[in-house]
Amino acid sequence: MITCPKCGHSNRPGAKFCQNCRADLSPERELSFSTPAGPTDLLGKLKQLVGGAEPPAPKGAPVPGGVRPPHPAEVRERTAVLPVRADSQRLEPLQRGMVVSHARDLRRRYGIVAARELERSIYYDALDLTCAACGMSNEQPPLTGLCQHCQTPLAAVLIHERRSRASGLHSESEVQQLIQLSAAHEHVLSHRDIIQYGERTYTVTEHPGRWGVLVRGRRQRSPDEALAGVAQIGRAMVYLHEHGFAYSETGGLALESIVLTGGGTELLLADLNSCVPLPGNDADAVRAQVNRDITFLGSLLFYLATGMEIQRADINAVPPDLRPFVERAMQDHYATAGDMLDDFSYVPAAPARPLKPAFGQATHPGRRHTHNEDAVVTFTFNKQQDGGAVPVGFFLVADGMGGHDAGDVASQTVNQIVTDWIIKTKVLPDLEKTTRKLTAENVPGDLLAQAVQQANQVLFQHGQTTGSDLGSTVAAALVIGDLAMIAGVGDSRAYLLRGGRLEQITQDHSLVARLLDAGVIAAEDVRSHPQRNQIYRCLGHSEQVEVDTFAVPLRPADRLVLCSDGLWEMVLDADIRRIIEQARSPQQACDALIDAANRAGGEDNIGVIVVEME
């Protein structure tokens, strides 16, 4: 056990913060890393890093490339030196505490926190060691994830390490173009850096929060899910082509460059390093590059539907309904990537009746409060279209903040504005056409985001007028047939329970969530972290707010769970899953979850909705 030096409370071994007073239990000194075995002189280290291929740099000069070897004054116990990389297919991962930096700007430094090895590349959870708040640089990634100078959380980043392109390194202008392009598309992770160092490239992106790697688990998806995933990456390909670049990567490494968010429903390109400029004056060369990208989309569709790489499996393994798309992509049938996505719209609708949402809802002030600032709203109806009835459901949980009556005003305002927008203004009038499949005009995710934006503007204007600090989080779901559009801001959550697995769809916009997702702190440290209640994004605190949206194809027996932090902070995810699975109905599940949160302490208001697809 660890005894807190401040209050004397006994804490579990390895705890970083005191559960009683939240004092920092980390050792007084920083993380200590020993220099790896090998040459101890600077010349020897430089030879080790470049494999003898480059002459050593003059004293104090940056080494061309991106992974900075130490200067003589920096070679001390805590210096992290990159290990020798054998010239083999599998890369050797960097260790926790090592630093990747840009040779031309040593303030662009990233400290490794954790590695995730794949067959052909490696992902790293890392921290930007230059604090965005005070501008100071940290030597190593701190145990707490907080800047050692001002105690502000350091920004989490995701780094993808791979071998450099066969065609050589990008020019600096190309790197800047790709970084700019990455920031403007929803299915490309926003890039911070592309650091090129000899045969290795380190692509640094904004951290996506709760994320996974497409190729982990080799999960076989339903035809609808496979088509939805290819449509997401396909739209990114169209965007790149429109801006003069081809993705150009195929095979397993291209698959490893895709990450998952939104409980595994959203596919994002995490590495544009493989992109090449389209030759504007050579139509045949442009056609060849575009065909290469379309071929990759065909192989991606095969992988999503089968869990296997097409080079290693028979094409007959893909479901018959999807086989024509794979074959056409491989045979250069499509002139553009957009033509392939348009072809998806001709998939016939399944003859089975549409899924119908059954739901329960509950809210409670908790044991520590007499006033309830959580709001929940649910409604369902049938929309007549295409000669039949499509079940539609709308569900929302809002958690108000601001003290006194401000939190109640905030959550009820979100409830009213978003609901009115959905029912009267935009979404229902837009549902005259089919919402069965994948085309952007038939998926009202932007409209759901606009509804949340409207609520944000009303709250912001109210706060400016009254001088109050009111705000709200929100988690909302619009279910149309077998598709759910999810929107989230703040730390209210949406989950998907499918096949015994409870996956969080939304991302918590909290400081602690950043540290947890980046692997800086462990899950058991969240509840005792001194900044666990701080969120960096909510409704009402700025004129514009970024709204996360996710498209989730649904199956029979799927259950959506929307809740405020009063539930998930009190009840572990595993217990949420168990309680819902044991309940006889969605309403009984909601009642049991409220009871479990109160039995665990009930420290905050609790709001929950459970939706079961029948």
For residue 235, how many other CB atoms are within 10 A of its CB?
A: 19
What is the model's pLDDT at position 91? Answer: 80
Question: In one letter, which amino acid is 457?
Answer: Q
DSSP letter at 343 equals H
Q: Where are the alpha helices (DSSP H) in 152-265?
A: 172-182, 223-242, 251-256
570 vs 155, 329, 465, 611, CA distance in Å? 27, 49, 35, 21
Which residue shows structure tokens 């590349």? 121
What is the model's pLDDT at position 7? Answer: 63
DSSP letter at 171 equals P
What are 69's two structure tokens? 């070897």
CA dihedral 530, 535, 540, 543 (to 10 degrees): 120
Q: How far apart are the first and last CA of the chain?
A: 49
DSSP secondary structure string for all residues of 465-510: HH----EEEEEEEEEETTEEEEEEESS-EEEEEETTEEEE-S---B
Mean pLDDT estimate for the chain: 80
Q: What percent of the chain has pLDDT over 70?
A: 77
* Tens digits of residue pLDDT in 24-45: 665 432 322 233 333 333 333 3
Say how far apart CA 61 and CA 53 lie, in whole Å: 17
Q: CATH class for domain 236-344? A: mainly alpha
Determine which of 156-160, 261-265, 431-435, 570-574 has the lowest per-residue pLDDT on average: 431-435
| Residue 318: alpha-carbon gap to chain centroid | 28
Q: Is the pLDDT of residue 62 over 50?
A: no
What is the model's pLDDT at position 56? Answer: 35
Q: pLDDT-derived band of residue 21, with 50, 70 and 90 as boundaries? A: low
The predicted model gives 137-147 an average pLDDT of: 87
Say how far apart CA 4 and CA 61 lie, in whole Å: 46
Query: Contact at 8 Å (CB) between 516 and 526?
Result: yes
Question: In one letter, which amino acid is 271?
Answer: D
**Of 317-326, 450-459, 524-533, where does the model show the most confidence?**
317-326
Length of the chain: 614
DSSP letter at 274 equals T
Shortest CA distance to 24 belongs to which of 151, 150, 129, 134? Answer: 151
Which residue shows structure tokens 């630093």? 99
What are 166's two structure tokens? 């066969």
Say how far apart CA 237 and CA 334 lie, in whole Å: 14
What is the model's pLDDT at position 74? Answer: 30
Q: pLDDT-derived band of residue 437, with 50, 70 and 90 as boundaries? A: very low
What is the model's pLDDT at position 466? Answer: 82
Q: Is the pLDDT of residue 399 over 60?
A: yes
What is the model's pLDDT at position 612? Answer: 95
Q: Is the pLDDT of residue 402 over 90?
A: no
Q: Is the pLDDT of residue 403 over 60?
A: no
Say how far apart CA 479 and CA 544 lie, in whole Å: 26
Q: For the chain, which residues make up each domain, given as ranges? A: 1-29, 31-206, 236-344, 357-613
CA dihedral 517, 519, 523, 527 (to 10 degrees): -80
Q: pLDDT-derived band of residue 118, with 50, 70 and 90 as boundaries? A: very high
Q: Which CATH superfamily is domain 31-206 in?
A: Phosphorylase Kinase; domain 1 (3.30.200.20)
pTM: 0.74
Backbone angles phi, psi at 535, to 5 degrees: -115, 150
Q: Which residue has the higher pLDDT, 418 or 556?
A: 556
CATH number of 357-613: 3.60.40.10
> Residue 434: which residues within 8 A CB-CB, separation 6 or more?
349, 385, 386, 442
Residue-wise over 196-211: b if at least 16 C-beta within 10 A, else e?
bbbbbbbbbbbbbbbb
CA dihedral 75, 76, 77, 83 (to 10 degrees): 0
Backbone angles phi, psi at 331, to 5 degrees: -100, 15
Q: Which residue has the higher pLDDT, 446 or 296?
A: 296
Q: pLDDT-derived band of residue 14, with 50, 70 and 90 as boundaries? A: low
